[in-house]
């Protein structure tokens, strides 16, 4: 119950940060999405492989890459915080599916077919916001202790919109 209360407080605190300069979040695809669409769009930029427990996944192999932390920025939208990626391939894996950190392959993307402005969980401490990718099988009701500490990123409240 305590974890759920902290989560609700974090969500409401983060919602209070909403400013008047919202942009409208746009799904990457207006029609229904499928694996073939993902495969065709992402293949030029990374590798597809079969990983036990997750099935067919995609990975982008750039040193230093972290989902929701490199080459993009947060934008406040009418649907919540939206990750605006600067990667040519960013319209898919930051808004569909989930990211996991595999011990062998590094960050892998597991395809999913539901759209969201970003698949992350949020926290707030003092003057900082924190976010971490919601991994495979996790939802917004996740306990903070279920997400490893090395997956969290932080930014001061004044720098949340700064390009990364």
pLDDT at residue 154, as a whole number: 83
| Helix runs in the chain, H state only | 2-16, 35-42
Q: In this structure, is residue 28 part of a structural domain?
A: no
User: Using the 8-state DSSP alphabet, how is residue 53 labeled?
Assistant: T
Q: In this structure, is residue 65 part of a structural domain?
A: yes
Per-residue pLDDT tens digits of the chain, which is 164 residues long = 444 433 433 443 344 443 434 444 455 444 578 999 999 999 999 999 999 999 999 999 898 899 999 999 999 899 889 999 999 999 999 999 999 999 999 999 999 999 999 999 888 888 888 899 987 766 555 555 567 777 887 888 777 777 77
One-letter-per-residue 3-state SS of 66-92: CCCCCCEEEEEECCEEEEEECCCCCCC
Q: In this structure, is residue 38 part of a structural domain?
A: yes
Q: In this structure, is residue 105 part of a structural domain?
A: yes
C-beta of residue 45 within 8 angstroms of C-beta of residue 92 = no
Q: What share of the chain is helix, strand, coil (3-state, %, to 5)?
A: 20, 30, 50
Q: In this structure, is residue 25 part of a structural domain?
A: no
Domain that holds residue 130: 2-17+33-159
Q: In this structure, is residue 117 part of a structural domain?
A: yes
Q: In this structure, is residue 26 part of a structural domain?
A: no
Q: In this structure, is residue 23 part of a structural domain?
A: no
């Amino acid at each position: 119950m305590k974890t759920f209360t902290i989560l609700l407080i974090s969500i409401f605190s983060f919602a209070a940060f909403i400013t008047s300069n919202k942009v409208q979040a746009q799904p990457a695809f207006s029609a229904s999405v499928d694996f073939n669409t993902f495969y065709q769009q992402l293949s030029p930029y990374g590798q597809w492989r079969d990983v036990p427990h997750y099935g067919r996944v995609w990975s982008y192999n750039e040193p230093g890459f972290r989902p929701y932390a490199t080459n993009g920025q947060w934008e406040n939208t009418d649907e919540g915080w939206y990750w605006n990626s600067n990667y040519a391939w960013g319209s898919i894996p930051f808004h569909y599916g989930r990211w996991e950190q595999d011990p062998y392959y590094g960050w892998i993307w597991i395809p999913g077919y539901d759209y969201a402005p970003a698949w992350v969980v949020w926290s707030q401490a003092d003057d900082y916001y924190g976010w971490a990718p919601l991994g495979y099988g996790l939802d917004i009701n996740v306990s903070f202790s279920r997400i490893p500490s090395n997956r969290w990123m932080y930014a001061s409240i004044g720098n949340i919109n700064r390009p990364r």
